Structure 1
Amino acid sequence: MATAIRFEHVRKAYADGTVAVGDLSLDVQEHELLALVGPSGCGKSTTLRMANRLVEPTSGRIFLDGDDVTDVDAVGLRRRIGYVIQNVGLFPHRTVGQNVATVPRLLGWDKARTRARTGELLELVGLEPGRYARRYPHELSGGERQRVGVARALATNPPVLLMDEPFGAVDPVGRRRLQTEFRRIQSEIGTTVMLVTHDVDEAVRLADRVAVLSRGGVLEQLSDPVRLLAAPASAAVADLVGTGAAVRLLALGTVERRDLSPATGTPGDGPVVRVGDPLDAAFAALAAQPSGRVAVHEGDAVVGELDAPGLLAALHRLVDGAQDRTDDTAPVRTA
């Protein structure tokens, strides 16, 4: 795959001697979602902000679609890159529609084109234009404001979107819903995304690949989420992943027919599980069934039953597949 962003031996040091990023080389591939994770102070946000020159690198080179970002106008560069932060940064005295239209207006788009694009984007992020376009930010929930921030960042179809803890201020239920919605949008439009998060669960749920940084911006591991969880490359990565790797892996796999045993009876009134559902949803359904078996549907038909051994087999398949992969450069999406 082509490279959208390339960091070549990038370093950021401050006047007081603090080294935020020591010597980082990293490629972000076109159309992928790459998550940066690591402990506080490891240079995640600094790395992200160097890509659009909100922070200037001390040395090294950063390329956007082949252009050295230090050789182009910084304002023009930022108009080519969408940027979403945790607290959104919406203009409080502008309506939702006016906020989304910010960059198109700066670029001189005519009113009809701007209005059409604003409506299209609000629909894309799940906000009905007739209901939301004339509202002000203070009239929205935290999740709704975050959706407006994403719409504004996508207004001019930027090839790259940078996101710094974008869902951190949203409640857990709303955050999971936003994550699912954003992944759908990103897959649909194909934007290249760099996402900074402190939440390993969020990283493995959303990313095609995960880059784990340690203090000083040292790249500890770059791999797909399954390999990250199943085969941490260092003690620092293992500490970050913690003891919940198996649970996180369940969120990355799906129910397949080969995991099922023959159906033994008429489905009960419990949760419905379908072929292709995430394994974590299947696990929850299985835990709720006293029989220890849950019917699995495909279309209108029951095609078998899932039990604990079948779920375990699916989990083993994920782990074995991760251990068999040795190329950490190619994105692999398992769910």
Structure 2
Amino acid sequence: MAATHAPDAPRDRARTAGDDDGAVIRFDHVHKAYDESAPARRGRDDRPATGAAVDDLSFSVRRGELLAVVGPSGCGKSTTLRMANRLVEPTSGRIFLDGEDVTQVDPVALRRRIGYVIQEVGLFPHRTVGQNVGTVPRLLGWDRARTTARTAELLGLVGLDPARYARRYPHQLSGGERQRVGVARALAGGPPVLLMDEPFGAVDPVGRRRLQNEFLRVHRELGTTVMLVTHDVDEAVRLADRVLVLSRGAHVEQLAGPLEVVARPASPAVADLVGGGRTTRLLGLGGLDRRDLWPLTAADADAPRVPLTADLGEVLAELVGAPAGRVVLTDGGRDAGAADATVLLTGLRRLVDHTPRDGAVA
């Protein structure tokens, strides 16, 4: 998989949770309790806990970024997401969309401004694919020609030929195809914000990777602000510009770029979540620099070729099968130099050493 950003410029532009520059979504001391009368539990570090699903949560999502929200089951991830479009009402605190307090606007009108994708997709079974995608444009009062054109544009964007798919019904589609239609429907009205709750969780592993690649392409093309909830740390690291790690009660353990979260967990809770796959995840977050490479020799003529834009994991995969233990990195079709295990380790060390240290929030 091609890296979302250049491998020699790690995808880690994190600031602190209090940094609201360019914020499109902002949570300000948000609290959600389903039963305020419930007895208090013991929280982290044996401190009294409120029993709230979300307890005093503050963070922001910047314009155009993809923020992934991860954490253990029951930590308040989905509740947090659903408060952004008022499918769940906060008990207290404020949530802003482009500077407007969402609790002060009509919830139906609000949801037409925010795309929403869930694991089960939720397509209308009695409507065609085209009719499903055109749902929000019709509610917004678009005429038929504009709705049809937008539907065709979005189906094409998510990799579904409008001529083949627009007249089909959901039951005629595979799980991955239904998920693509769900994304197209969520984007049809041109919302500035897209909320996604485990959007690829019901798809098989191969289809899941394909959908992730497709969605990264769509996100790059449209620049939509995305808040994505997932239980899969690998998915969060792979897709996100920043990762918000929550613990029980939606306490912020860390808000940082994926490289920072993997390389420098801010707390034991984050380290436990990242688990034993830290090195494997780091391999997918950076690449080699020309300065790392060995000069070419005659023995490299038959070595495997790997693009210089490849991530460290892709280089490692080729190294494992290379007869001489070396691969040649190419740039624009020309050989740039050779890499072996020592070079790969150099790239990995540089990646960790250059990880920003100011993105962690305990």
Q: TM-score, normalised by structure 1?
A: 0.95
Q: CA RMSD in A?
A: 1.3
Hey, what does 1:268 align to over in structure 2? Answer: 302
Task: Report the CA distance between 1:269 and its aligned residue.
Answer: 7.0
Hey, what does 1:9 align to over in structure 2? Answer: 29
2:332 is equivalent to residue 299 of structure 1: yes
Match for residue 288 of structure 1 among 297, 303, 321:
321
Moved segments of 4+, more than 6 Å: none
| Equivalent residues, number | 327
Q: Distance in 1 between matches of 2:314 and 2:233?
A: 19
Q: Distance in 2 between matches of 1:4 and 1:14?
A: 27
Indicate if the aligned counterparts of 2:257 and 2:359 stay in contact, CA closer than 8 A: no
Q: How does 1:50-199 map to 2 (within 5 A)?
A: 50-199=83-232
Task: Report the CA distance between 1:268 and its aligned residue.
Answer: 2.7
Task: Report the CA distance between 1:328 and its aligned residue.
Answer: 5.2
Hey, what does 2:358 align to over in structure 1? Answer: 326
Identity over aligned pairs, percent = 68
Q: Distance in 2 between matches of 1:302 and 1:4?
A: 44
Q: Distance in 2 between matches of 1:307 and 1:194?
A: 39
Deviations 1:153-203 (A, max 9, x none): 000110000000000011111111111111111121110000000000000
Deviations 1:244-276 (A, max 9, x none): 111101111123322211122354374x31011
User: What secondary structure, in the 3-state scheme, does the structure 1 residue paired with 2:199 have?
Assistant: coil
Q: 1:94 to 1:161 in 2, by over 3 A?
A: same
User: What secondary structure, in the 3-state scheme, does the structure 1 residue paired with 2:194 have?
Assistant: strand
Task: Report the CA distance between 1:102 and its aligned residue.
Answer: 0.4
Indicate if the aligned counterparts of 1:96 and 1:136 stay in contact, CA closer than 8 A: yes
Deviations 1:72-97 (A, max 9, x none): 00000000000000010011111111
Task: Report the CA distance between 1:301 and its aligned residue.
Answer: 1.6
| Structure 1 residue ranges without an equivalent (≥5) | 330-335
Q: Distance in 2 between matches of 1:182 and 1:296?
A: 28
Q: Which letter does structure 2 place at the counterpart of 1:246? A: T
Q: Distance in 2 between matches of 1:300 and 1:38?
A: 42
Hey, what does 1:332 align to over in structure 2? Answer: none
User: What secondary structure, in the 3-state scheme, does the structure 2 residue paired with 1:135 have?
Assistant: coil
Match for residue 238 of structure 1 among 264, 271, 274:
271
Q: Distance in 2 between matches of 1:53 and 1:179?
A: 27
Deviations 1:15-62 (A, max 9, x none): 263410011000111101000000000000000000000000000000
Indicate if the aligned counterparts of 1:224 and 1:328 stay in contact, CA closer than 8 A: no
Q: Distance in 1 between matches of 2:143 and 2:226?
A: 28
Q: Which letter does structure 2 place at the counterpart of 1:239? A: D
